[in-house]
Amino acid sequence: MALKTGRIKTVRAFDLQGYLAQRAAAVDRALHVWLPPAGAKPATIHKAMRYSLFAGGKRLRPALCLAAAEACGGSIRQAMPLACAVECIHTYSLIHDDLPAMDDDDLRRGKPTCHKVFGEGIAILAGDGLLTEAFAIAARCRGWPRHSRGEIIRELAWAAGSRQLIAGQVADLEGEGKKLSAAELKYIHQRKTSALLCCSVRLGAMSANASPAQLRALSAFGLNVGLAFQIIDDILDVTQTSEQLGKTAGKDIAAQKATYPSILGMEKSRAIAVQLTRRAFRALEFFHGKAPALAALADFLLKRDK
Ligand code: GRG
């Protein structure tokens, strides 16, 4: 899946693995401090929240958030509450998605799912707890002349709410066993996956008091990368094993879910993911090579194998 673009040279020169490891460690340190301690009463719920949050996620959304802040001349310190907030929301959505009433999965991030370890009731509450803490953590960010704290928090609520993330999940549930059109599937993917990824990038930009033009460029980047990410996820569900993915492979076929490969075929799906990634690179041209981490992340998300 070679991506022929002038930017590929910059991408190769960037140490993304080092960048991701360093950013993930910083995010984990902040999350440890900002979340209620594991022993806080009642300990079960705080253990469950931390179990899923520190189970070994790739921390891609926080990395995108921090990289967007850096591209706009901001700091990791200012963006950190927002990076942590999106990871809490992402983890809550995974816990709830794995529940028997939804995808009914046993494996997540290479470990038994939250409800398998703590029971269904605690898993529901652990998701609720992470969603709620996300907003408390996000409220630690500072506001700017261009982006007030209120606007930043509303941005997060919009992406996580019933018109984006939850809308995508509802359409996904209601679409099971039905023949969906490519447009209907795109609706689901844009909301279920792309909205929070795009929001991560936009929040990073906002934490850096981004100009309207910077925010426009990063929104285009986030939307394209977000959709490409889910198409690759659909492909990996078919091509990889559960061990490689750290979650149950082949779930989409088993649940009779429409996916890009099932509607458009594998080759066309790959071609669309490449095309979307090219569009994301084009959006980054606005930064004249000053967004190397974002470029490397887009390239990595296209070529990832888990
Ligand atoms: C329950 C409101 C609600 C929403 C659930 C997250 C989700 C929506 C569904 C899970 C299944 C799925 C295909 C989600 C799309 C997003 C996605 C591919 C999540 C996995 O993201 P990674 O690969 O996971 O970044 P890690 O574990 O590395 O953080």
- Which whole-number Å values give the CA distances from 112 to 117, 169, 237, 253, 294, in the listed order? 7, 22, 18, 21, 32
- Tell me, what's the pLDDT at 5? 38
Q: Which atom of ligand 1 is nearest to the CA of 97?
A: 1
Q: How confident is the prediction along the chain (306 residues), in pLDDT tens digits per residue?
A: 334 434 444 466 899 999 999 999 999 999 999 999 999 999 999 999 999 999 999 999 999 999 999 999 999 999 999 999 999 999 999 999 999 999 999 999 999 999 999 999 999 999 999 999 999 999 999 999 999 999 999 999 999 999 999 999 999 999 988 999 999 999 999 999 999 999 999 999 999 999 999 999 999 999 999 999 999 999 999 888 888 888 888 888 877 888 999 999 999 999 999 999 999 999 999 999 999 999 999 999 999 888
Give the helix, strand, coil percentages of the chain, each rounded to 5: 70, 0, 25
Q: Is the CB of 261 under 6 A from ligand 1?
A: no
- Tell me, what's the pLDDT at 13? 81
Tell how far the Cα of 199 is from the centroid of ligand 1, in angstroms: 14
Tell how far the Cα of 223 is from the centroid of ligand 1, in angstroms: 16
Exposed, middle or buried by CB within 10 Å (0-12, 13-18, 19+), for 158? Answer: middle
- Tell me, what's the pLDDT at 159? 98
Residue pair 221/142 in contact (Cβ under 8 Å)? The answer is no
- Tell me, what's the pLDDT at 2? 38
- Tell me, what's the pLDDT at 247? 83
- Tell me, what's the pLDDT at 9? 47
> How many CB atoms lie under 10 A from the CB of residue 7?
21
Residue pair 27/101 in contact (Cβ under 8 Å)? The answer is no
Q: Is the CB of 87 under 6 A from ligand 1?
A: no
- Tell me, what's the pLDDT at 171? 96
pTM of the model: 0.94
Give residue for tokens 């669309």: 272
- Tell me, what's the pLDDT at 244? 87
Single out the residue of 136, 65, 54 nearest to residue 95, CA to CA: 54
Name the token pair of 220. Answer: 């285009």
